[in-house]
Homo-oligomer: A and B are copies of this chain.
């Protein structure tokens, strides 16, 4: 008999997250020395901003991902497939970063960038609800556990709302999208307050 291995599922996902995170940094191009006073330093600043935004997003998603599967002790084939869709979105990060890095002032590019993350965030939110149902089904939750789970799902929903705002702000000024997304990890702390 062949079974699904939970440990390898986690190790593989972590590997993909770790490689994507470090691949992002390879996209940053340094301004060459002779262009010290030209616009290349401004492009470099945009590149750093875009990198920070990418780093924030991937670390936020990794954080959600490890929370999501922390209590899933028995993997079904369906969860593995849903996780691969999740990794597929994550793996698009380097291309999306390229899309936005090639022309940081293009409003449509920033919008596409924001939109993909908005869609991913909604997908992640839906995934949390799927896993929540699965876990509840296995073992009834205490009120404290239910409150914590609801709080966690609220964080994911609020992150999606921030994604929507970032997406719309692209039409005001393109670099606003990565700027807002760079601060998206703060959603976790803000949700705690309310």
Interface residues of A (CB under 8 A from B): 1-5, 7-12, 14-26, 28, 30, 32-33, 55, 59, 62-63, 66-71, 77, 80-81, 84, 87-88, 91-92, 94-95, 98-99, 102-103, 106, 128, 135, 141, 145-146, 148-149, 152, 185, 188
Identify the closest chain B residue to A92 (Cβ): B25
Instruction: Judge whether A4 and B102 touch: CB under 8 Å.
Output: no
Q: In the assembly, what is the distance between CA of A188 and CA of B2, in Å?
A: 14
Instruction: Judge whether B3 and A70 touch: CB under 8 Å.
Output: yes
Instruction: Judge whether B81 and A1 touch: CB under 8 Å.
Output: no
A8-B10, A15-B15 given as contacts; is B21 within 8 A of A91 (CB)? yes
What are 14 inter-chain pairs, A to B, with CB distance below 8 A? A1-B71, A1-B135, A2-B68, A2-B71, A3-B70, A8-B70, A12-B17, A15-B15, A18-B19, A19-B19, A22-B23, A25-B91, A33-B106, A55-B91
Instruction: Judge whether B22 and A67 touch: CB under 8 Å.
Output: no
Distance to closest chain B CB from A152 (angstroms): 5
